[in-house]
Structure 1
Amino acid sequence: MPQAVFYLLRHAATLWNLGKRIQGQWDSELAPAGKARAGELAPSLAGLGLARILTSDLGRAKATAGILNLALRLPVTLDRRLREQHFGEWTGRYWRDIPADALAAAEAAGWNFTPPGGESRAEVRQRAEHALVDAARANAGRSVLVVTHQGVIKAVLYHLLGRAFLPDEPPAFDVGRVQQIVCRGGSLSVGALDIVLPDRP
């Protein structure tokens, strides 16, 4: 069975990202620097031989895909299963305002990290992996750019890497760079981390 190759990219930085405010499944505008970075990145992504863009349906991911697509000019598919983790009662709050003991307890739960009223990292991983496997069936033999969120990228890759998702683990990759996942026969595996993009065509 032909494999599908996914290139995972986090959306451009937003105003809330810069202000260290929790977005979850809410949105804020892309920051000017984020927009500029996405525009600079697009020509290099063109060297990956992409056939489609698959993106979260949240505004910041769609806006990033739109900027990239000014250069890439690819068909775009939205999938709500690629949304960021739902942060429940913490959504819209600044990280500095979350009580330290509550945050430490949540992070110590690893895959079961669940903001009050939100969803767990394990749930994010499950829905995102289902989205990728479904997309692989529709794009066998092709390469697809996936524009999504930090929580989604970490959940999928940390699961494939066998990580416990605990705060004392060293970073496995740079979430600001492109990560490659391969799907063959309905099974996902890590292709390459922190991809060095080809020179602009």
Structure 2
Amino acid sequence: MSRRVVCLRHGQTLWNVERRFQGHTDIPLDETGVAQAARAASLLAYLRPDMIVSSDLQRALHTARALGGATGLDVAVDKELRERGGGEWEGLTREQISERWPREFAAWEAPGGEDVADVAERVSAAIRRWAAQVEPDGLLVVVSHGAAIRLGIAKLMGLPQEHWPALGGLGNCSWSVLEEGRKGWRLMEHNAGTLPEPVQSDDSPEATRT
């Protein structure tokens, strides 16, 4: 038996709809996001998580508390699970960013924002730290943000930085499932919205669990 981590992205916000860079700006869930959080909670509760930890930003924390209410678990808070800081881009739309900073937009490097390597390091370290507090066959749910989750997963899996873009993003209230195997962390589900199915395959001596 091995530890699992479900990385859940927060529900929708108005800035998501308007395609604005959120970063560390503390934007609440909109009405749709609240409903998404309730749906995700009703599904993930069936996995019987042992622990829930969330970014301190309210869009993630409110999503996490929906799951906490469905499971009876308290929600721990860790600011290291915050989204990538967007510097001068926060609050601006993609169109505004591309017009004002065409070169930086192409590289997706915000002036005054966080470097992707720094985000990957802090998020992966936070996941490892919290996962270590769960029993060897336990389940941790981490509620965070799209870029933070993607970068943290890439770092946990040991992918070279030039390959990080190969890992796609997550929709609002979608999740990814990591499992701690004999040779490190493995990505079992990505950008999912349904509960994981067991996998029997000739690819590995191990079978995944529901």
Query: TM-score higher than 0.5 here?
Result: yes
Going from structure 1 to structure 2, the CA distance change for 1:185 and 1:131 (only over 3 Å counts) comes to farther
Deviation per CA, 1:59-110: give whole Å up to 9, x if none.
Answer: 11111112222212212111111000011111122222113483554543xx
Q: CA deviation at 1:121?
A: 1.2
Deviation per CA, 1:115-157: give whole Å up to 9, x if none.
Answer: 1011111111000010011112111321011110001111123
| TM-score relative to the length of structure 2 | 0.79
The CA distance in 1 between the partners of 2:58 and 2:170, in whole Å, is: 23
| TM-score relative to the length of structure 1 | 0.82
The CA distance in 1 between the partners of 2:126 and 2:189, in whole Å, is: 20
Contact 2:54 2:76 in 1 (8 A): yes
Aligned pair count reads 191
Structure 1 gap segments, 5+ residues each: none
Structure 2 gap segments, 5+ residues each: 198-210
Q: What's the C-alpha RMSD, in Å, of the aligned pairs?
A: 2.6
For 1:145, give the aligned amino acid: V
Higher relative contact order structure (alpha carbons within 8 Å, sequence separation ≥ 6): 1
SS in 2 for 1:6: strand
Partner of 2:145: 149
Deviation per CA, 1:170-197: give whole Å up to 9, x if none.
Answer: x646444221112468943323334431
The CA distance in 1 between the partners of 2:85 and 2:191, in whole Å, is: 26
Going from structure 1 to structure 2, the CA distance change for 1:104 and 1:16 (only over 3 Å counts) comes to same
Q: CA deviation at 1:21?
A: 1.5
Going from structure 1 to structure 2, the CA distance change for 1:185 and 1:127 (only over 3 Å counts) comes to farther
Please, which moves more after superposition, 183-192 or 89-98? 183-192
Partner of 1:96: 95
For 2:111, give the aligned amino acid: P
What percent of counterpart residues are identical? Answer: 30
